A and B are shown apart, each in its own frame.
Chain A
């Protein structure tokens, strides 16, 4: 039995197309492994970055999944507080070690002042206007005055005990600085737990304001996010200006909120964060904040 001429031509076209596809797929499969950067490429790129590195510089990998290999070469220049930074905005100089044409998601406006290739790697130095931090809430965590206010308005003060602020029973909540995991990324943050029927109040009494206060929030720990679905509500009061922060949930990730404080720039004011949750079980609320000039 033979097939019709039209259909035969269609099938013949398919045969040609499939044959070409097979050749391309085979070729790519054979060639692709050689497109990966070699150890020598990483060593050379690492040496170049190290030679030009200045304290305060940020080093990133592009794509981000190459970060562990980057840290093999340059991990001593990427301490935990930099690796788990709140965001990239405070860095004026960013070294990017990229491959396969990928670029790190840096904010626009920078100038590339170094651009060199080391085998399959490309090293770029991007210099850009950076935000200057007046007050880093995570670094200054010991300034925090923590209390718990129940529904009837009774306030219980919490006390500093070693590396954390601890509140008394029945809440037994605490505040401490920790490397947290939010949305499967590490962040240097302050960690606390909301309490049933009460508000956890964290006040930094004297914060020198600049033009903006940036706060990022999220829920810590994949397994805890899996264990419960409750949300956390947070309200930030800067001086007498109160802002309701986005609701923090299992799916909200690391959410940044930028509050314009231009009108109060230069003033030193108290900043208070109030945290509540109707379902606080297994909720580990993490936040980091900076007052920026």
Chain B
């Protein structure tokens, strides 16, 4: 049998890791409820598809200009604008159109945001519409896992590189976001892709150009992309600190020029909504995020919904990204990452990250060049990983920055944390191998110990991630004490009203009370999607928002987040009872409560 070349073996492993990611996420995403934002992105994605569909018709009739009129563009593309650019939402819409099992002319015909004139011809990969929407996000997660392996392989042997890839996915909070049709995991993929491209561009001009394109795509995924250049520039200046010492100008690298040119161009080109009024709408988009409201978020027992004003609360608030990382990432992963950080810190300039590295860090050229700005210097891999890990966290540590998304706001740090864990594993694995080399003659099973160690360190992350599902947002690690420990520490349990999904069969059975059902934080778009998915009877009602919604209802749910407390008072007041008829809990920690009017 022909032996695989090292290059092909790496591609095979990359493909297996990515495929495994897709399989795992597709296998479990159906248990994950549809959150507020996700439901809106699904709706917007389907509407954007409507524009493409109409464009196809207009092209067929030789009048493509009709699809480019301001009114036509706005009819489709003003949905969820100026909130977010449209790369992912458009992909969600296209994926839905391509892969759903169409019953579009049936009872749920009226539940679509755009008219459905006829039954769709599709490749019906998925039985649920929501899965078809989520598929691109899952592919992006798979891409990230593959990229992490490829990136780590530049520095590490295969086993620790694969472990780094696995540990990227096997984090409960990242895993939660990796399977839903939002942007928080896809932007991690793109941020990592840009970082990876930048790293390669330091010694390859081709990657300089390509990274500019990747940055443009990242800008189209989520506004977090604005931060990417800062972390890269920080590394670049550190890497070329010798220029400063020598009082000579640092070359402006091709990669930054490409990012500066291609980034905005691609960003503008990809978003039709901007075309109507480029300056005004770009400004509206930027201001939307620079002036973003501080939504409610629970951290260490406090409900943060505005910037803290006292020194003590500012300090407490500043710890959020670091404490949240410490309490959510599997502890074994953190321990390995700490060892990996130590290895990077002790690395001598010019030395490889790992003795078995494929990449040399020592200079390969005499003179600086803007095309290969990392060729005449040590590329400072430790600083690179440090800035990419701590950069996103540092931004969230600024007390005036909203923290309502918890870990999702700095998820971009996590792949690099996993790479550090891979570096740590490689170091201890090598020590183990060297010791075992001496005893192997006497004890043959010792030969498999390094491989066993690689599997062992993945185990807690995999088990914790499996345990957390589908409530990854409420899961905390060994240090915190799991779901219960997180609740006792006053950490956020959930947001977006997604956690009602396991209660749907019960709600569906409660006829006729469910004709007047108060859904609390479950958005009507999510309810529609549950109905389209066949998980909820079409007759189940929705009494609307807030106090009036509760007044009108016969049964109602309440999601446990600190800031919703007064809604419980309305239940007590209007339903005449403090006694819920059911509580959905995880390991004893309440997530959602169901009240019924007059229940005793």
Describe B's contact surface by its main secondary structure.
helix
Which of B44-52, B111-119, B561-569 forms part of the interface with chain A? B561-569
Say yes or no: is A33 at the interface (Cβ < 8 Å to chain B): yes
Nearest Cβ in chain B — how far from A75, in angstroms?
2
Describe A's contact surface by its main secondary structure.
helix
- From A11, A24, A26, A28, B430 is in contact (CB under 8 Å) with A11
Nearest Cβ in chain A — how far from B447, in angstroms?
15
Interchain CA distance A114-B175 in the complex, whole Å: 45
Nearest Cβ in chain A — how far from B12, in angstroms?
27
B582: A residues at CB distance < 8 A: 72
Which of B180-188, B265-273, B460-468 forms part of the interface with chain A? B460-468
Which of B129-137, B238-246, B411-419, B572-580 forms part of the interface with chain A? B572-580
A66 near B588: Cβ-Cβ < 8 Å: yes
Say yes or no: is A129 at the interface (Cβ < 8 Å to chain B): no
| Residue from B294, B310, B435, B588 with most neighbouring chain A CB atoms (10 Å) | B588
Say yes or no: is A157 at the interface (Cβ < 8 Å to chain B): no
| Size of B's binding interface in residues, CB under 8 A | 61
In A33-73, the 8 Å CB interface with B consists of: 33, 35-37, 63, 65-66, 68-69, 71-72
Q: Which A-chain residue is minimally distant from B562 (CB atoms)? A: A184
B305 near A25: Cβ-Cβ < 8 Å: no
Q: Which A-chain residue is minimally distant from B488 (CB atoms)? A: A63
Nearest Cβ in chain A — how far from B118, in angstroms?
46
Say yes or no: is B104 at the interface (Cβ < 8 Å to chain A): no
B478 near A29: Cβ-Cβ < 8 Å: yes
A72 near B563: Cβ-Cβ < 8 Å: no
A65 near B478: Cβ-Cβ < 8 Å: no
Q: How many A-B residue pairs have CB under 8 A?
A: 169
Interchain CA distance A21-B336 in the complex, whole Å: 10
B580 near A15: Cβ-Cβ < 8 Å: no
Interchain CA distance A2-B431 in the complex, whole Å: 9
B580 near A75: Cβ-Cβ < 8 Å: yes
Check A25/B431 contact, CB under 8 A, given A15-B453, A68-B580. Answer: no
Per-position binary interface string of chain B over residues 324-338, scored 1 when its CB falls under 8 Å from any chain A CB and 0 otherwise: 000000111001100
Per-position binary interface string of chain B over residues 257-296, scored 1 when its CB falls under 8 Å from any chain A CB and 0 otherwise: 0000000000000000000000000000000000000101
Nearest Cβ in chain A — how far from B591, in angstroms?
10
In B452-499, the 8 Å CB interface with A consists of: 453, 456-457, 459-460, 463-464, 467, 477-478, 482, 484, 487-488
- From B305, B331, B434, A3 is in contact (CB under 8 Å) with B434
| Residue from B424, B464, B563, B569 with most neighbouring chain A CB atoms (10 Å) | B569
Say yes or no: is A133 at the interface (Cβ < 8 Å to chain B): no
| Residue from A3, A28, A83, A221 with most neighbouring chain B CB atoms (10 Å) | A28
A22 near B457: Cβ-Cβ < 8 Å: yes
Interchain CA distance A8-B482 in the complex, whole Å: 34
- For the complex of A and B, the 8 pairs showing the least CB-CB separation, nearest first, are A75-B579, A11-B431, A36-B588, A25-B460, A179-B569, A181-B566, A15-B428, A1-B355
